[in-house]
Amino acid sequence: MIRAATKLCERDSDYARFARFYLTYSRQFRRNYTIEIAAAHILMTLPTSYIFMYENESGEFIGFVQYYYEPDRHTAFIDSAILMEEYRSSRVFYEGIRDLVRHICSKYPTVRRIRFHALAENRYLNRLYGKFADRIGERDNGGDPEYIYSSEVSRLKAYLRLES
């Protein structure tokens, strides 16, 4: 089984690895996601967001979750995430989100909810997210509708079998 190690971006070299990966794989977000949009996203969001990196056993960068805390510090918003296709599985997703929730809760114990989004056309993600979150809205992202989800931390911890 493939294991992924997690690490928070902290050094310039970490951010450089993230930026290269993001620019390389950003078309996975949607078909019309151009390199210009990807570069602008990095420049606009990096100063206020955190990057949770995933590495394989060889230390190769295989994915990330980019998130930020809303001003009230009670909500964490997962802005973007990509995992290389060959590493995707239910178990890796489960372990990855579990590690992220643990990290968020330890860094900011005031966080009470976690929000995230998925393209409306992505039936797999929408079905998966519906298991542990409520759909609370919809937004347009570059001409593509997205659903916004929210989950109370207590509900997410129960789903992930984490101690409260």
Query: Six-digit token pair at 93?
Result: 């997703």
Distance from C-alpha of 19 to C-alpha of 17, rounded to nearest angstrom: 6
Least confident of 32-41, 69-78, 118-127: 32-41
Distance from C-alpha of 15 to C-alpha of 48, rounded to nearest angstrom: 13
Q: How confident is the model at residue 1 (pLDDT cuts 50, 70, 90)?
A: very low
Amino acid 87: pLDDT? 83
pLDDT mean over 112-126? 93
Task: Output the DSSP codes for 61-91.
Answer: EEEEEEEEE-TTSSEEEEEEEEE-GGG--HH
Q: Does domain 5-159 have CATH number 3.40.630.30?
A: yes
The DSSP symbol for 46 reads G
Whether the pTM exceeds 0.85: the reply is yes
| Residue 46 backbone phi and psi in degrees, to 5 | -55, -40
Tokens 């393209």 correspond to 119
Amino acid 2: pLDDT? 56
Q: For residue 95, is pLDDT > 70?
A: yes
Q: How confident is the model at residue 37 (pLDDT cuts 50, 70, 90)?
A: confident
Where in the chain are the domains? 5-159
Q: For residue 14, is pLDDT > 60?
A: yes
